[in-house]
A and B are shown apart, each in its own frame.
Chain A
Amino acid sequence: MKDLHTITTTVNGKTYTREAESRMLLSDFIRHELGLTGTHVGCEYGVCGACTILYDGHPTRSCLTLAVQANNHTIETVEGLTTDPNKLHPLQQSFQDAHGLQCGYCTPGILMTMKAFLAENPNPSETEVREALSGNLCRCTGYQHIVDAILRMKDEG
């Protein structure tokens, strides 16, 4: 017996209908079924934050979420931050300019976490930024340039 569910979900503004097994993870669904490989998997169980996406606007670990949970919900991934190839989202621009990344594997998860955070708190202190970033691991940068990139957004209004 095939254990398949039909899922209709809106990802980056586009609606998809796909079949998925009960136990398929949302991270695998996004990466393998939709081919959106900007969502990275670093630890498979919610520690590193690389797979963070926005689920109805809330930052969510896609490796701890089942694909079926996306049914009738809205997902946003790093590929949805900008649709204009000539213009980056201000967060992307700021990370690029402030050298807020090195290997870049953690970057999409951090961008999605910060998008939600800045939507709620557009004028954060450095302490608040560090607190908001504390659920995302980065092995390359030592975080300082990431914090700078986020604070630079505030300065540029």
Chain B
Amino acid sequence: MQQPSLLGQSITRIDARAKVTGQAHYPGDLTMPGMAHAKVLFARRPHARVRHIDISAALALPGVLGIFTGADVPNNEYGLVLFDAPVMVSELENGNLAAGNAQNLKLFDGIVRHIGEKMAIIVAETEKIAEHARSLIKINYEDLPAITDIHEAIKPDAPQLHPHYPGNVIQRYRVRRGDVEAAFAQADVIIEDTYWMGAQEHAYLQPEAGLAYIDETGRLTIQVAGQWTHEDQAQIAHALKLPLDQVRVIYPAIGGAFGGREDMSVQIVLCLAAQRLNRPVKIIWTREESMIGHHKRHPFWVHAKLGATKDGKLVAAKINGMSDAGPYNYTSNKVLGNFTGTCVGPYDIPNVAIDSAAVVTNNIPSGAFRGFGAPQGLFVAETQINKMAVALGIDPVELRRRNCWHDGTITPFNTPVPPGCSLNEVISACAENKKLEGAAPNASFSILNSKFAKGTGFACGHKNIGFSFGYPENSACTVELHGNSEIEQAIVSLAGADCGQGAHTAFLQIASEALSLPREKIELQLSDTSTSGSSGSASASRLTYMTAGAIVGAAKAALAKWQDEERPVKMHHVYRPRPTTQIHPQTGEGDPNITYAYIAQSAEVEVDIATGQVHVHNLVCADDVGRAVNPQQIVGQIEGAVSQGLGYAMLENFVTEGGYVKTAHFSTYLIPSVLDMPDRVQSIIIEHPDPTGTLGIRGMAELPLMIVAPAIVAAIHNATGVWVNELPVTPDRLRQALKKQH
């Protein structure tokens, strides 16, 4: 009998009950008999040579069970893109320089490259003893000059910070389409400006934590909060020189991630400690340790030039952009790719020249954070087009309608936009929801005798779905069917991480659709490398899109066997979307992205002229999700992403000085409270099915963050006549800008 599918229903998330009763267990809540406690010693200096590490006094402290340093790590290297970072920095002479089959990049050079480098993991009977022992470790450092400014780092005579990145550059992209200089010469209006966007901290409420132990089958096991079980497993196995199947990674409840758990934090060092001591070992980082211990959103410096004809046709765009990658490639090459693909916006511009670079410094590494380069690219692109609208006297929505992508529009990569482009529809849905008052500042407004000024702003954008630039995307699922005349139980196994975004509930809904089964007949086996294949990462707006392909594929295969009277059935399927390519190093030509999702937002703000405080009254967000798997949860994703975008736009000022972090607590690094939020976030869900994927689903949860900043900055300009080119627009920055203007 056909059962009603759960797809498209706002069902309650499957972990809600455990979370409201306090029964959900996060990594820091787990305990085991005989459990020991660990602390990590961080370098806490941005650039230094390690002369000597002396653990003898610490090791002699009663209650200390073991102290492990870089010299104890069999392959002392790790990394998501390549193994370019040491697990722990060891002294040169004791480093595992001859570590045999390590794909080492000669990194065992005893150099500390940022303050969050790990130097040792200390294990003791109690956390207090471990902390005490940590204070007894003596390290003789020779401090080296720290390069913390990207402009300094790229100077020809700058000290070289990493042997694998000559010139202190991890990656460059070069895109050339048409003839920009000729087109600028023909343009009626040119907008040219320089932008700066600061770092952003993920600030998930659950600091890094984990419990590592040897499981009942003798496997080294870790329960930890991450975003990609199988990648954690691979990196642990590599560093510890273990066969893959001797490492097991399990994700219990995860207290937020947003990209910040994509790279290794406690995983490798904790597994090392548990393996060496043959005891369960637990670690919980403090908030301050979390702040210095994981990467940030890339700061970007960008110079941008945009030309248009007076009737509002964009003719040329030129970008020179640089990100601060920190010392290692925490996906900086990929973030740069996404920046490059978004920095001139989703517009039909026949002449484009983009030069971008990810630059090595001694700041904390930059890496994945919701949006992954697109918030930076789109802040520039959208602010440029908003300025252009003002200069041309054309409504900003109308200017976008005249230039925006459609199916087949040629992108800066000189290949067509994949089918399913709904940008025009998304722009209209957002704009028509709330009548905007035009781009030009209110002519009658005089800042000198006003206390408050109101304004509106608009922005739109696009986000690639999945790992791009030739990465062989894949996602696996296994479906088991049990029963006789009818299916009594389906067991659906997959690894995809539920970081809080509700992925597991979405998996259930997609499985219900694919198998035509009600909720009570579906059992999910989740987030454990020992029970399923890889789903890939919970990132890149990819998890629902890729997993839908995996679940539907496995379900189809299983149902076909079921029709053939096979009992029970167990079928495995690996979904692979259409392949992508790298882009050409000289021209940027290529087909780097599988497909896109689209978004538009408008913001209404009120500026307090005296203080520079900005309050967002209303924010409208139209997001094309392709097919809404769970509308209630989608609205939750939009509202949450908007709050992080608002923090990025106005509040979250991650301050560093000479590589040291000045804002390592929630009292100095401010994230939005409820009173900082818009009075209302209006979510408009658009369901324009994506023809490239499965069930029409698009990724959606990164998009609402990406364009909050340009919408708010345009609204501030609309209110005050002032453009602010630096993020975040803190009250100080805005006050300075207002002073300059008036």
A interface, CB within 8 angstroms of B: 31, 35-45, 47-48, 50, 77-79, 81-82, 88, 92, 95-97, 99, 101-108, 111, 130-131, 133-147
Chain B, range 502-524, C-beta contacts under 8 Å to A: 502
Are A140 and B256 in contact (CB-based, < 8 A)? yes
Choice from B15, B22, B640, B666 contacting A36 with Cβ under 8 Å: B22
Are B205 and A48 in contact (CB-based, < 8 A)? yes
Choice from B25, B641, B673 contacting A37 with Cβ under 8 Å: B25
B166-174, B469-477, B631-639: which lies at the interface: B631-639
Known A37-B25, A38-B22, A133-B674: A144·B16 in contact at CB below 8 Å:
no
Determine the residue in chain A with the shortest Cβ distance to B30: A37
Are B20 and A95 in contact (CB-based, < 8 A)? yes
Q: Shortest Cβ distance from A64 into chain B, in angstroms?
A: 13
Are B674 and A143 in contact (CB-based, < 8 A)? yes
Determine the residue in chain B with the shortest Cβ distance to A145: B636
Determine the residue in chain B with the shortest Cβ distance to A88: B20
Q: Roughly how many angstroms separate A52 CA and B334 CA in the complex, as a whole number?
A: 40
Choice from A39, A101, A144 contacting B681 with Cβ under 8 Å: A144
- A contact residues around B502 at 8 Å (CB): 102
Q: Roughly how many angstroms separate A130 CA and B680 CA in the complex, as a whole number?
A: 12
- Number of A-B residue pairs with CB-CB distance less than 8 Å in the complex they form: 161
Q: Roughly how many angstroms separate A140 CA and B503 CA in the complex, as a whole number?
A: 14
Are B675 and A139 in contact (CB-based, < 8 A)? no
B interface, CB within 8 angstroms of A: 10, 12-13, 15-26, 28-29, 31, 202-207, 253-256, 258, 286-287, 499-502, 632-633, 635-636, 638-644, 665-667, 671, 673-675, 677, 680-681
- A contact residues around B23 at 8 Å (CB): 38, 79
- A contact residues around B632 at 8 Å (CB): 99
Q: Shortest Cβ distance from A98 into chain B, in angstroms?
A: 8
Q: Shortest Cβ distance from B527 into chain A, in angstroms?
A: 14
Determine the residue in chain B with the shortest Cβ distance to A42: B205
Are A137 and B671 in contact (CB-based, < 8 A)? yes
Are B256 and A37 in contact (CB-based, < 8 A)? no
Q: Roughly how many angstroms separate A41 CA and B392 CA in the complex, as a whole number?
A: 53
Q: List 13 A-B residue pairs with CB atoms under 8 Å apart, sorted by A's residue number.
A: A44-B287, A77-B22, A78-B22, A81-B21, A92-B20, A96-B20, A104-B18, A105-B204, A105-B256, A105-B500, A135-B673, A140-B640, A142-B681
- A contact residues around B635 at 8 Å (CB): 99, 145
Are A101 and B20 in contact (CB-based, < 8 A)? yes
Q: Shortest Cβ distance from A103 into chain B, in angstroms?
A: 3
Are B20 and A47 in contact (CB-based, < 8 A)? no
Are B640 and A37 in contact (CB-based, < 8 A)? no
> 5 extra interchain contacts, Cβ-Cβ under 8 A, other than A45-B667, A141-B636?
A40-B206, A78-B21, A103-B205, A103-B255, A137-B666
- A contact residues around B500 at 8 Å (CB): 102-105, 140
- A contact residues around B19 at 8 Å (CB): 101, 104, 107
Are B639 and A137 in contact (CB-based, < 8 A)? no
Determine the residue in chain B with the shortest Cβ distance to A96: B16
- B contact residues around A81 at 8 Å (CB): 21
- B contact residues around A40 at 8 Å (CB): 26, 205-206, 255
Q: Roughly how many angstroms separate A136 CA and B671 CA in the complex, as a whole number?
A: 11
Are B286 and A107 in contact (CB-based, < 8 A)? no
Q: Roughly how many angstroms separate A130 CA and B20 CA in the complex, as a whole number?
A: 20
Known A96-B12, A105-B255, A130-B674: A145·B22 in contact at CB below 8 Å:
no
Known A44-B286, A137-B205: A142·B639 in contact at CB below 8 Å:
yes
Determine the residue in chain A with the shortest Cβ distance to B644: A139
Please give me the 4 A-B residue pairs with the lowest Cβ-Cβ distance, nearest first.
Answer: A38-B22, A103-B500, A104-B19, A142-B639
Choice from A99, A103, A107 contacting B204 with Cβ under 8 Å: A103
Interface centre among A36, A42, A50, A77 (most CB of B within 10 A): A42
- B contact residues around A146 at 8 Å (CB): 674
Known A102-B500, A133-B674, A142-B677: A107·B287 in contact at CB below 8 Å:
no
